[in-house]
């Protein structure tokens, strides 16, 4: 067996974006977006290293040929603009992994990473080392990284156990991408690492804790669109400003907690990146499916803009209840005790249900947080209230909504004060919403409309579910874009 030559000394540090794979609407590789993607990361997010064809990049759903094309395009477009391109070459097949490793060396990648096989799993650290060694052997001059992600692979081998004596077997070994929540195992990796290794952390919401333990950098999917803020976290930590670093970490945790309550997965993550960056990344590849918000997301930017303009026009004289129609959807808002509650629904969704939903939220929010409202200054200070929002939403979109309708008729107060207008007319006129008082719809016609809406409750329940998903996805995107404004 030949002896591997040491890899070039080029330590990987700082933020590394785990890139998404651009696909067309037909599910084919879309190489044309990669140049724009590189520019976006470097110019807008301040991220100068990337980890391609990994979990975020849907590597296991791609063919070997597709992964080669992507790796080549990323290396070519990143040349002279980025510090390092690490290509993940791990596959279920040793031969496929070796083929991709050889290719990465030929196209000028700055390093390769390999995940543990997850169908036929290695059952010990020694078995996994043997697999990694065979891959590294075919590309001996490339820095080699082990990609540790036990929650996905199901391989229950501690990363710290794997690192014991690994450089004796793989001379090109240069570190680990540790995407696990076991900080004790991570700490052991750091404490036993060599000076030229990079121990990179891959759980975005726990980055600060990993930095304290000695992480040399981080690899993550959210760094694609909030990398500029995470760079501030790292800088604050390096300067010893733990307060600022912690504040940014808490904001990340709030965002990710909120996102996870919405069912945050790769599909939604990819859609979010598309919306925030303006890149055309396309849908995920089967068996992953687009999230429902993605299917309704073509008009999200317009709705976001309209919602922002709407809030600017609210004043003390504005009607406390109002419906603003916007084509196939409608904004419903309710103001009580200085707090505005707004929901976006399908236009066909019964207004009585929408306002009853807002009244439920208002009552609970006032009970939990009413006294705190005058004292808050940080956006999304009440993010934990989302749990109640999600729970209440279900009672208005499932089959029980039919039974709810009877109680709504008695609980909904002052229907006469619900104003109806077209949102485009209101926003284009540039007037405050107080002007809508003189435009109130006739109560009789509203009542007829409500009775008609009630008949649609059964047939429209599916639409309501999609609309509700669309509402909270809009809020999620607004949260990312205007987090620090």
Q: Report pLDDT digits (tens) over 14-31.
A: 999 999 999 999 999 999
pLDDT at 403 over 70: no
Last residue of a domain, one of 256, 291, 326: 291
One domain for residues 204 and 320: no
Q: Is residue 180 part of a domain?
A: yes
Last residue of a domain, one of 252, 273, 291: 291
One domain for residues 312 and 377: yes
C-alpha–C-alpha distance, residues 440 and 419, integer Å: 5
| Mean pLDDT for all residues in the chain | 83
More confident residue, 349 or 160: 160
Average pLDDT over residues 455-462: 41
pLDDT at 216 over 90: yes
**What's the whole-model pTM score?**
0.68
SS3 193: coil
One domain for residues 206 and 341: no
Average pLDDT over residues 404-428: 53
CATH number at residue 103: 3.20.20.70
pLDDT band for position 446 (cuts 50, 70, 90): very low
SS3 5: coil
pLDDT at 376 over 80: no
Element housing 334 (H / E): strand 329-336
Least confident of 17-31, 202-216, 306-320: 306-320
Distances (CA, A) of 291 to 54, 95, 297, 375: 20, 34, 10, 36
Query: Which residue do the tokens 């390092």 mark?
Result: 84
Report the share of the chain in percent with pLDDT over 90: 55
Task: Specify which of 7-11, 52-56, 438-442, 447-451 reaches the highest per-range mean pLDDT.
Answer: 52-56
**pLDDT score of 399:** 41
**pLDDT score of 300:** 65
Least confident of 102-116, 238-252, 371-385, 417-431: 417-431
pLDDT band for position 10 (cuts 50, 70, 90): confident
Average pLDDT over residues 404-433: 54
**pLDDT score of 466:** 43
pLDDT band for position 312 (cuts 50, 70, 90): confident
One domain for residues 226 and 366: no
Least confident of 94-103, 383-392, 446-455: 446-455
Report the share of the chain in percent with pLDDT over 70: 77
CATH number at residue 334: 3.30.450.50
Using alpha carbons, select from 387, 396, 386, 408 the residue that is nearest to residue 464.
396
**pLDDT score of 34:** 98
One domain for residues 320 and 264: no
More confident residue, 302 or 186: 186
Instruction: Tell me which residue range forms the domain holding 68.
Output: 14-291
More confident residue, 326 or 401: 326
Question: Based on the structure, what is the number of domains in the chain?
Answer: 2
Last residue of a domain, one of 428, 462, 478: 428
C-alpha–C-alpha distance, residues 149 and 466, integer Å: 32
Using alpha carbons, select from 192, 161, 193 the residue that is nearest to residue 175.
193
Q: Is residue 172 part of a domain?
A: yes
C-alpha–C-alpha distance, residues 384 and 423, integer Å: 30
Average pLDDT over residues 217-245: 96
Which residues carry out catalysis?
Answer: 147, 177
Tens digit of each residue's pLDDT (9 = 90 or more) over 45-72: 999 999 999 999 999 999 999 999 999 9
One domain for residues 265 and 359: no
Report residue 152 as tokens.
Answer: 């996905």
pLDDT at 3 over 80: no
Average pLDDT over residues 200-227: 97
Tens digit of each residue's pLDDT (9 = 90 or more) over 133-169: 999 999 999 999 999 999 999 999 999 999 999 999 9
**pLDDT score of 432:** 58
One domain for residues 24 and 66: yes
Least confident of 81-90, 143-152, 422-431: 422-431
One domain for residues 201 and 221: yes
**pLDDT score of 429:** 59
pLDDT at 107 over 60: yes
pLDDT at 448 over 50: no
Rg, C-alpha atoms of the chain = 26
pLDDT at 249 over 70: yes
One domain for residues 279 and 323: no
pLDDT at 417 over 50: no
Q: Is residue 438 part of a domain?
A: no
One domain for residues 213 and 263: yes
One domain for residues 57 and 82: yes
One domain for residues 81 and 219: yes
């Amino acid at each position: 067996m030949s002896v591997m030559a040491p890899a070039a000394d080029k330590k990987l540090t700082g933020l590394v974006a785990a890139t998404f794979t651009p696909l067309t609407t037909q599910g084919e590789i879309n190489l044309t977006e990669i140049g724009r993607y590189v520019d976006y990361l470097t110019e807008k997010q301040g991220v100068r290293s990337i980890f391609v064809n990994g979990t975020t990049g849907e590597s296991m759903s791609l063919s070997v040929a597709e992964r080669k094309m992507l790796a080549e395009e990323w290396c070519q477009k990143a040349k002279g603009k980025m510090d390092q391109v690490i290509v993940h070459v791990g596959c279920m097949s040793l031969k496929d992994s070796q083929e991709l490793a050889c290719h990465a060396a030929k196209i000028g990648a700055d390093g390769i990473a390999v995940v543990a096989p997850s169908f036929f799993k290695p059952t010990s650290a020694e078995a996994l080392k043997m697999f990694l060694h065979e891959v590294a052997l075919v590309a001996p001059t490339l820095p080699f990284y082990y990609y540790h992600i036990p929650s996905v692979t199901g391989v229950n081998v501690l990363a710290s156990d794997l690192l014991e004596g690994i450089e004796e077997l793989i001379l090109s070994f240069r570190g680990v991408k540790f995407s696990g929540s076991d900080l004790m195992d991570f700490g052991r990796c750091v404490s036993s690492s060599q000076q030229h290794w990079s121990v990179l952390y891959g759980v975005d919401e726990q980055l600060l804790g990993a930095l304290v333990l000695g992480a040399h950098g981080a690899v993550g999917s959210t760094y694609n669109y909030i990398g500029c803020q995470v760079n501030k976290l790292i800088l604050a930590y390096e300067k010893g400003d733990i307060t600022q670093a912690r504040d940014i970490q808490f904001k990340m945790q709030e965002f990710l907690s909120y996102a996870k309550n919405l069912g945050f997965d790769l599909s939604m993550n990819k859609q979010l990146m598309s919306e925030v960056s303006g890149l055309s990344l396309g849908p995920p590849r089967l068996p992953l499916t687009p999230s429902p918000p993605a299917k309704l997301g073509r008009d999200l930017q317009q709705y976001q803009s309209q919602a922002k303009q709407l809030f600017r026009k609210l004043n003390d004289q504005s009607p406390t209840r109002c419906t603003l129609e916007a084509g196939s959807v409608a904004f419903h808002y309710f103001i009580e005790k200085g707090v505005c509650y707004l929901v976006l629904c399908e236009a066909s969704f019964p207004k009585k249900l929408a306002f009853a939903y807002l009244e439920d939220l208002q009552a609970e929010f006032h009970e939990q947080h009413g006294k705190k409202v005058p004292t808050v200054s940080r956006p999304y200070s009440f993010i934990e209230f989302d749990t109640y929002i999600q729970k209440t939403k279900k009672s208005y979109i499932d089959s029980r909504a039919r039974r709810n309708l009877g109680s709504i008729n008695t609980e909904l107060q002052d229907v006469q004060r619900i104003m109806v207008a077209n949102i485009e007319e209101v926003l284009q006129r540039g007037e405050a919403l107080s002007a809508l008082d003189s435009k109130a719809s006739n109560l009789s016609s509203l009542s007829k409309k409500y009775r008609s809406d009630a008949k649609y409750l059964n047939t429209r329940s599916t639409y309501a579910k999609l609309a509700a998903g669309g509402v909270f996805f809009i809020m999620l995107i607004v949260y990312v874009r205007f987090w620090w404004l």
